[in-house]
Amino acid sequence: MIRNGKYGLYNGQEYMLAGKKDDLEIISNNPAELLNGFIQDDWDENIFFKKIKKEDLDTAYEITTYAKYKGHNFRVLTASEFKVVIATNNPQVGHELNMSVPGRGEFHMEVNRTDVELIEEKKPIWGFTLDIDN
């Protein structure tokens, strides 16, 4: 699974975060969370959310996943079990790897998942640190 976006630890468990730091929701796909005060989403029955305050979080961070391929770092657009679509706006790299050009200044390429190293980068947000003991 490729993760991008805001995440946080709430009661020692990691959740995706939605909203702004003063109006937050934690998101889950686990129906058992209904027992923990989560509400089922009206539009998608597989999504459950709970409103919380920033102060309720143990920590919060932004996750960005990128792919290392042939010595270069790329954004990951999509990924499946076997394939990854990578992207760059660097024309030198795009031409060097004969990447497709779906739009002006964009270069995309589908590669085998086994040919890339997926790297997840975490950066703390909202004054938190990655050390949950702060």
Q: Report pLDDT digits (tens) over 5-16.
A: 999 999 999 999
Confidence of residue 133 (pLDDT cuts 50, 70, 90): low
Rg over CA atoms, the chain: 18
Q: Report the distance separating Cα 6 and Cα 16, nearest Å.
A: 6
Beta bridge pairs of residue 54: none
**Please, what sign has the CA dihedral across residues 4, 117, 68, 80?**
negative
Residue 36 has pLDDT above 70, yes or no: yes
SS3 120: strand
pLDDT digits (tens, 9 = 90+) for 50-83: 999 999 999 999 999 999 999 999 999 999 999 9
Q: Cα–Cα–Cα angle for 114, 65, 85, nearest 5°? A: 50
Alpha-helix runs per DSSP H in the chain? 91-96
Q: Report the distance separating Cα 89 and Cα 94, nearest Å.
A: 8
Do residues 95 and 39 lie in contact, with contact meaning Cβ atoms separated by under 8 Å? no
Which comes out higher in pLDDT, residue 119 or 103? Answer: 119
> How do beta strands 72-79 and 83-88 pair?
antiparallel
